[in-house]
């Protein structure tokens, strides 16, 4: 990593691989020999077609996505998916939601506007410091919705629930492509790209074709999955720059050795950081060990009053984005795919020094 660049712990938009940024920089004025930038290129041109089809092909390869799924590049963020999912599939009936924290709550809020929501499990009583263990799914739900990684609360599903015949839908915004998963368990996966797979402006949707067919036909055209599937994500002007960056990130993922290698590195980084937090009383993890996220490590200093100084001094040393989400406070280190192992080791060294100077 370029030593002049800070270590970026922002939760999203988040760190991108440096080589992706450099490649984008070299092509900024002259993309694919066109003499113009990708931002100035028609989304129906041949050079852009190579980008969008290439990105899809690589995503299919990396995640091992079978042919009975569509891979879509949408807009509106994961937040629009909170509404699009119930609009298409709830149809004034019932869906099960597992309430694991801030993002699940927003998904539930949208679904409640459009039908009945059954909370199949919640850990609200323990401040979302673990995943709910008692899950109570309805037989007649249209789908089950989970948040695979709660970016703010720092929990992550390590084993996904078996929902039988009921389609499982997951918001994977903050851990997509951080590990290997079995796509066949899911009917729909969605993720804002701005953490692990690109930049804001692109929302990746991986959806099983039979679910698309169940979508309500009487909703606006732009909000139907069928529209975007039929038009191969080109119903309207997509985020050309965003899809281009995702394509470059996919090249980087493949170069790392795919999800086997990425998962191994992510586990290593998380272990270094959690091991240190666990080794001292000065710092405190906020999440039960078995449900901790390998992407967003939330923690506090036991003496909360020291946290502003920690954030300030960390910033001076080149560690940015360590402030916890405004709704939770405390500290959070987001260590997405592109975050280097060395950065975590250096953060731990800083944490040790800070502890020594403040004990
Ligand atoms: C798990 C999760 N879901 C949804 C969102 C909302 O995404 P967007 O801002 O792309 O709408 C975020 C954003 O951080 C998130 O972390």
Ligand 1 centre from 356 Cα, in Å? 36
Out of 195, 224, 269, 323, the active site residue is 195
Q: What is the pLDDT of residue 236?
A: 98
Q: And the tokens for 104?
A: 């699940």
Residue with CA at minimum distance from ligand 1 atom 9? 77
Q: What is the pLDDT of residue 3?
A: 54
| Cβ atoms of residues 270 and 292 within 8 Å | yes
Active site residue 139: no
DSSP string spanning 287-301? Answer: S-GGGB-SSEEEEEE
Active site residue 195: yes
Out of 103, 175, 224, 247, the active site residue is 103
Q: Please tell me the distance from the alpha carbon of residue 147 to that of residue 192, in angstroms, as a whole number.
A: 13
Q: Please tell me the distance from the alpha carbon of residue 11 to that of residue 231, in angstroms, as a whole number.
A: 32
In CATH terms, 257-357 corresponds, of 3.40.50.1820, 3.90.1150.10, 3.40.1190.20, 1.20.120.330, to 3.90.1150.10
Q: What is the pLDDT of residue 4?
A: 77
Which ligand 1 atom minimizes the distance to the CA of 172?
1
Mutate to test the pocket of ligand 1, among 151, 198, 202 (most ligand atoms within 8 A of CB): 151
Q: What is the pLDDT of residue 1?
A: 46
Residue with CA at minimum distance from ligand 1 atom 5? 78
Token pair 């099960």: residue: 96
Out of 58, 96, 171, 224, the active site residue is 171
Which ligand 1 atom minimizes the distance to the CA of 151?
16
Q: Is the dihedral of CA 125, 128, 131, 137 positive or negative?
A: positive
Residue with CA at minimum distance from ligand 1 atom 4? 78
Active site residue 103: yes
Which ligand 1 atom minimizes the distance to the CA of 200?
10
| pTM > 0.85: yes or no | yes
Q: Which residues line the pocket of ligand 1, CB cutoff 6 A?
A: 12, 77-79, 103, 147, 151, 171, 173-174, 192
Give the domain ranges of the chain.
21-255, 257-357
Q: What is the pLDDT of residue 126?
A: 97
Residue 191, φ and ψ in degrees, nearest 5? -160, 130
**Which residue from 276, 347, 242, 348 is spatially nearest to 9, judged by alpha carbons?**
347
Q: What is the pLDDT of residue 71?
A: 99
Instruction: Evaluate whether the domain defined by 21-255 bears CATH number 3.20.20.140.
Output: no
| Cβ atoms of residues 158 and 273 within 8 Å | no
The per-residue pLDDT string of the chain (359 residues; one tens digit each, 9 = 90 and over) reads 445 799 999 999 999 999 999 999 999 999 999 999 999 999 999 999 999 999 999 999 999 999 999 999 999 999 999 999 999 999 989 999 999 999 999 999 999 999 999 999 999 999 999 999 999 999 999 999 999 999 999 999 999 999 999 999 999 999 999 999 999 999 999 999 999 999 999 999 999 999 999 999 999 999 999 999 999 999 999 999 999 999 999 999 999 999 999 999 999 999 999 999 999 999 999 999 999 999 999 999 999 999 999 999 999 999 999 999 998 999 999 999 999 999 999 999 999 999 999 99
Mutate to test the pocket of ligand 1, among 9, 73, 77, 199 (most ligand atoms within 8 A of CB): 77
């Amino acid at each position: 990593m370029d030593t002049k660049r800070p270590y970026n712990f922002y939760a999203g938009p988040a760190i991108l691989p440096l080589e992706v940024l450099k490649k984008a920089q070299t092509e900024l004025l002259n993309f694919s020999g066109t003499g113009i930038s990708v931002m100035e290129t028609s989304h129906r041109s041949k050079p852009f077609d190579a980008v969008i089809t290439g990105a899809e092909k690589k995503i299919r390869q990396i995640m091992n996505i079978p042919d009975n799924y569509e891979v879509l590049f949408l807009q509106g963020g994961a937040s629009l998916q909170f509404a699009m999912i119930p609009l298409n599939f709830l149809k004034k009936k019932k869906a099960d939601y597992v309430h694991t924290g801030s993002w699940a709550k927003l998904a539930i809020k949208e679904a409640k506007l459009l039908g009945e929501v059954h909370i199949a499990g919640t850990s609200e009583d323990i401040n979302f410091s673990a995943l709910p263990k008692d899950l109570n799914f309805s037989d007649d739900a249209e789908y089950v919705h989970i948040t695979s990684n709660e970016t703010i609360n720092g929990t992550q599903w390590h084993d996904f629930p078996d929902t039988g015949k009921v389609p499982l839908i997951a918001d994977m915004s903050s851990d997509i492509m951080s590990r290997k998963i079995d796509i066949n368990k899911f009917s729909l996966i969605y993720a804002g790209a701005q953490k692990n797979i690109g930049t804001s402006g692109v929302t990746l949707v991986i959806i099983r074709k039979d679910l698309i067919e169940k979508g309500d036909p009487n909703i606006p055209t732009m909000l139907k999955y069928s529209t975007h599937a039929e038009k191969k994500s080109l119903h309207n002007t997509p985020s050309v720059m965003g899809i281009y960056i995702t394509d470059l990130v996919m090249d980087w993922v493949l170069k790392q050795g795919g999800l086997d290698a990425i998962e191994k590195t992510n586990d290593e980084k998380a272990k270094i950081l959690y091991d240190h937090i666990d080794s001292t009383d000065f710092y405190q993890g906020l999440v039960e060990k078995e449900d901790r996220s390998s992407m967003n490590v939330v923690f506090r200093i036991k003496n909360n009053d020291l946290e502003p100084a920690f954030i300030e001094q960390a910033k001076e040393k080149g560690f940015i984005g360590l402030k916890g989400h405004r709704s939770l406070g405390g500290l959070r280190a987001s260590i997405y795919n592109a975050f280097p192992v060395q950065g975590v080791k250096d953060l731990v060294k800083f944490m040790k020094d800070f502890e020594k100077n403040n004990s």
